[in-house]
Chains A and B, each alone.
Chain A
């Protein structure tokens, strides 16, 4: 069953940024609300590379705002919430530590199991190769055994494309790879220690505490166009790589190429025609459209962007090829 969180989801507001630390929330927002954010953290299992990144997930203020306006999320002042560490109840503290211990025990058991399996596989492979070598009775049988052990050493990486194998070249001092490969006798004797991803628990649910909930996110003037595109089902990412404000995907960027380079303008804001040409040309070069748009409605005093979002008009621009 897909995970259904209790709404609203707390978005951590830390140092002016909107961050998510819970993988369940990240998956949920992606699946149900077309919100991707940008992963900025290091993956502990494969830390020396930048291709695959991990938690936290950074949300644009626009993404946070869309979610807050829809009632899906609220913004939590995380530094303030963590002052709650000083007033934890003794009982909660103990309960939390016990829970972490059992998580650690579970992890160490699985780890030991996995190691046992790998070892058995390796031995089996060696044995197979040996048998083969003997059957053929060729002088290079010794070499083939060596080759077998050599290739099966990082057994998990065997069948992967080269780009992934490269990741193992860097030092990876996580426990899962740095511990000695040979049997140490009592593999599951001691529990691992776990660094949890979030602070809830032991801290109480922040969404119920009004003093932790902060204002609705401040958004740039391009927000109405963002909200318009989002309401049309597009997934939007920061546009730095293409020199635009947003990159719009017709579906989850995990599986789809983007369709538009998006740039917003106010209704009467002067646009240099050359910028339209530049955008159109750049887009066509990478098989994307250049999308220019913005709200007819000027900014309102109360800062509500709903009317503005409803008044958005957009234009798709491509090189005519003539």
Chain B
């Protein structure tokens, strides 16, 4: 360009940029992505009790783990309900807002980041070893009457069982992808990923 570059005024960095700078001292892009997704979950989707989980390297791999960090938190509303679970709830007259909140895991990724089945499988396998410290009081559901409470207890029991048998779906996580391509706008999209063949929701 032949034009002279004008001196730019000292603009203040965005809150997100500052956060990423301060939180990831390493300057590692993966960490930056994690922070960005965390920020998005917290402020756009109003998740609470957010945590970052560092994953250990797999025994077989000699270099760094294919996925380094997972996120987890508690969404304000249910993100996913398996179709059969939904049917059960409908039959028992249970509404989603009567249930106690539930921790959900998130794989933070950025557009253009190399991905493969191995990476996806690694993230799912790592889920078994992730330790979560939850404040029991935070996970209480809303107050309900005794009758409802009995129905809910039955539901929780059934749910534990259905999770073990995979009747109501299987191990699940959200795949978060940050739009970074072509100087992307920072949009984060979320997809529910479940291990195995889980029939789709119909609504």
Contact between A and B in the complex (any CB pair below 8 Å)? yes
Q: How far is the CB of B167 from chain A (nearest CB, A)?
A: 15
Contacts A268-B116, A320-B80 aside, 18 further interface pairs with beta carbons under 8 A come to: A248-B197, A250-B199, A265-B116, A269-B116, A273-B111, A283-B200, A284-B200, A287-B200, A291-B197, A292-B120, A293-B117, A315-B194, A316-B193, A316-B194, A317-B175, A320-B174, A320-B191, A320-B192
Any B CB within 8 A of the CB of A267: yes
Cα distance, A265 to B114, chains bound together (Å): 14
Asked whether, in the complex, the Cβ of B200 is within 8 Å of the Cβ of A276, the reply is no
Asked whether, in the complex, the Cβ of A319 is within 8 Å of the Cβ of B191, the reply is yes
Given known A276-B175, A317-B191, A320-B79, contact A269–B117 (CB-CB < 8 A):
yes
Any A CB within 8 A of the CB of B36: no
- Tell me the nearest residue of chain B to A288, going by C-beta: B200
Given known A273-B177, A320-B80, contact A267–B116 (CB-CB < 8 A):
yes
- Tell me the nearest residue of chain B to A258, going by C-beta: B200
Asked whether, in the complex, the Cβ of B191 is within 8 Å of the Cβ of A280, the reply is yes
Given known A265-B117, A287-B202, A289-B200, contact A318–B191 (CB-CB < 8 A):
yes
Please list the residues of chain A having a beta carbon within 8 angstroms of any beta carbon in chain B. 229, 232, 234, 248, 250, 259-260, 265-274, 276-277, 280, 283-284, 287-289, 291-294, 296, 313-322
Q: Which of the residues B80, B113, B117, B197 comes within 8 Å of A267, measured between beta carbons? A: B117
Asked whether, in the complex, the Cβ of A318 is within 8 Å of the Cβ of B200, the reply is yes
Please list the residues of chain B having a beta carbon within 8 angstroms of any beta carbon in chain A. 45, 75, 79-80, 109-118, 120-121, 124, 174-175, 177, 181, 189-202
Asked whether, in the complex, the Cβ of A274 is within 8 Å of the Cβ of B190, the reply is no
- Tell me the nearest residue of chain A to B125, going by C-beta: A313
Q: Is the interface of A mostly helix, strand, loop or mixed?
A: mixed
Asked whether, in the complex, the Cβ of B116 is within 8 Å of the Cβ of A270, the reply is yes
Q: Which of the residues B45, B117, B189, B197 comes within 8 Å of A294, measured between beta carbons? A: B117
Asked whether, in the complex, the Cβ of B192 is within 8 Å of the Cβ of A318, the reply is yes
Asked whether, in the complex, the Cβ of B189 is within 8 Å of the Cβ of A277, the reply is yes
Asked whether, in the complex, the Cβ of A259 is within 8 Å of the Cβ of B199, the reply is yes
Cα distance, A260 to B196, chains bound together (Å): 12
Q: How far is the CB of A194 from chain B (nearest CB, A)?
A: 45
Residues of B within 8 A of A320 (CB): 79-80, 174, 190-192
Considering residues B45, B124, B175, which has the most beta carbons from chain A within 10 angstroms of its beta carbon?
A: B175
Residues of A within 8 A of B120 (CB): 292, 315
Q: Which of the residues B45, B189, B195 comes within 8 Å of A315, measured between beta carbons? A: B195
Asked whether, in the complex, the Cβ of A322 is within 8 Å of the Cβ of B177, the reply is no
Q: How far is the CB of A292 from chain B (nearest CB, A)?
A: 7
Q: Which of the residues B75, B116, B124, B193 comes within 8 Å of A317, measured between beta carbons? A: B193
Given known A314-B197, A317-B175, contact A322–B45 (CB-CB < 8 A):
yes
Q: Which of the residues B181, B196, B201 comes within 8 Å of A318, measured between beta carbons? A: B201
Cα distance, A36 to B25, chains bound together (Å): 57
Residues of A within 8 A of B190 (CB): 319-320, 322
